[in-house]
Amino acid sequence: MSAAANVLVNASAPSNETGYRTFTLGSFKISRDEYFVHVTWPAKGQQMKHIMSADAFLRAMMRDVAWGFFYGWVNFDGMVGTRNKYGQVEFYAGRYAPAYHERGLDLVETFDTPLIMATFKAILEDFTNKGFDPFAAPDETGSSWVGKKNGSNSEAIDRQRQACKRMPGLPGDAELRTDSNGYPVNRAFADVVQDAPEIHAEKGFENDVHAMNLFAYLSRSDVTWNPSVTSVCGRSLCCPTTEEYILPIKHGNDRVEWFVQLSDEIEWEVEDKLTGLPRAKAIMKAGDVAAMPANIRHQGFSKKRSMLLVWENATPELPDMYESGKLQPYPVNF
């Protein structure tokens, strides 16, 4: 066992064969080998087993950790994932795969957030090899995730999500991104204009008259599929992000979420939240706006790094309002 922030993470000694530890979270065991992560759980007197490519697993778990378990469901794939209960988190296997759930072969267990967060961080630390960045596009980080245990990449997995209090660049708020503070323009956005707005503030209003180049800010993002917060209006949060390749998780909504495509194109596959059955495809181009209803899960595919503004409502009562039927799962009747 290892202690992280006064929480005990249950981990084995490193395997003599691969160098990786096996982690225990409640009744679940999570291990990896050269290529794969294995999740096992007991059901109906047998040991069930799920297998995922280790790179896909690490990319998914990285988002879950970075987002603090996010809003609602973070499906690593169609079998395993988490549901945020805000203070506690469910970890499940097979719950939203009807063939498993209907036969009682699934398992859902609930953990206090500090325990599951510490466990996930320890897994990321152990399963991520030197040179592999779970936040990066495959073209940027290569295949160093393959093989036996080979070092680590704490710098990549310990990044903090950048969230402003009001707007980046204001005094005391999040910094703007520049070359000098470690945010060069990403290769896929080398053509994005880096000019700054002209700000002419009268004396005494230098801290109140404020603007930034949002597209330049986004062009300097060093991560994919990891929203930052760039403006706050009450509980309305603009959370733009840059997307390349595949959203590593299928996000199951516990509230309506909105997308504004700022540049390029993303194709979204939308499935029923509980069963995974297909419901729609949305191909979003620059300027498009679409809602993701509260009863679906979705996964995006972006062939060229693109800019997406995810618009969230952080009102804490929202999940209960949808769960109780007080709000319909889609935002507008027309």
Work out whether 3 is an interface residue with other proteins (CB under 8 A): no
Give the amino acid at 241: T
Nearer to other proteins, 7 or 290 (CB): 290
CA distance 164 to 97: 37
List 86, 102, 280, 326, residue binding other proteins (CB under 8 A): 280
15: left (phi over 0), alpha (psi -120 to 50) or beta: beta
Q: For residue 44, give the nearest of 110, 114, 103, 117 by alpha carbon.
A: 103
Distance from C-alpha of 81 to C-alpha of 177, rounded to nearest angstrom: 32
Q: Which helix (H) or strand (E) holds 41?
A: strand 36-43
Query: What are the two backbone dihedrals, phi and then psi, of residue 322, each rounded to the nearest 5 degrees?
Result: -75, -45
107-166: which residues touch other proteins (CB under 8 A)? 166
Q: Does 304 bind other proteins (CB under 8 A)?
A: yes
Backbone angles phi, psi at 10, to 5 degrees: -90, 105
Q: Which is nearer to other proteins, 103 or 187 (CB)?
A: 187
201 binding other proteins? (CB under 8 A): yes
- Considering the complex, state which of residue 7 and residue 327 has its C-beta at the smaller distance from other proteins: 327
* Tokens 């520049």 -> residue: 178
Which of 8, 199 has the CB closer to other proteins?
A: 199
- H/E stretch holding 233 reads strand 231-233
Whose Cβ is closer to other proteins: residue 27's or residue 236's?
Answer: 236
State the amino acid at position 106 in one-letter form.
D
Q: Note whether 288 binds other proteins by CB under 8 A.
A: yes
326 near other proteins, rule: CB under 8 A: no
CA distances (Å), origin 178, targets 95, 171, 181, 184, 221: 44, 16, 5, 6, 10
From the CA atom positions of the chain, what is the Rg in Å? 21
Residues 203-232 that bind other proteins (CB under 8 A): 204-205, 208-216, 219, 230-232
Number of amino acids touching other proteins (CB under 8 A)? 78
17: contact with other proteins by CB under 8 A = no
Does residue 293 belong to the site contacting other proteins (CB under 8 A)? yes
Stretch of 4-12, 144-152, 245-253, 311-319 contacting other proteins, by CB under 8 A:
311-319
> CA 305, CA 307: separation in Å to the nearest integer?
7
Determine, following the binding rule CB under 8 A, whether residue 188 of this chain makes contact with other proteins. yes
Q: Does 195 sit near other proteins (CB under 8 A)?
A: yes
First to last CA, the chain: 56
| 136, 265, 274, 301: which one binds other proteins (CB under 8 A) | 265
Q: Binding to other proteins by residue 289, rule CB under 8 A?
A: yes
Report how far apart, in Å, the C-alpha atoms of 67 and of each of 53, 64, 87, 257 are: 22, 5, 14, 15
Do 265 and 302 form a contact (C-beta atoms < 8 A)? Answer: yes
Stretch that binds other proteins, among 57-65, 68-76, 109-117, 313-321 (CB under 8 A): 313-321
Q: Which stretch binds other proteins (CB under 8 A): 80-88, 116-124, 188-196, 245-253?
A: 188-196
Determine which residue in the list 305, 308, 310, 322 makes contact with other proteins, applying CB under 8 A: 305
Nearer to other proteins, 108 or 290 (CB): 290
Select from 202, 316, 324, 325 the one that contacts other proteins (CB under 8 A): 202
- Name the residue nearer to other proteins (CB basis): 109 or 272: 272
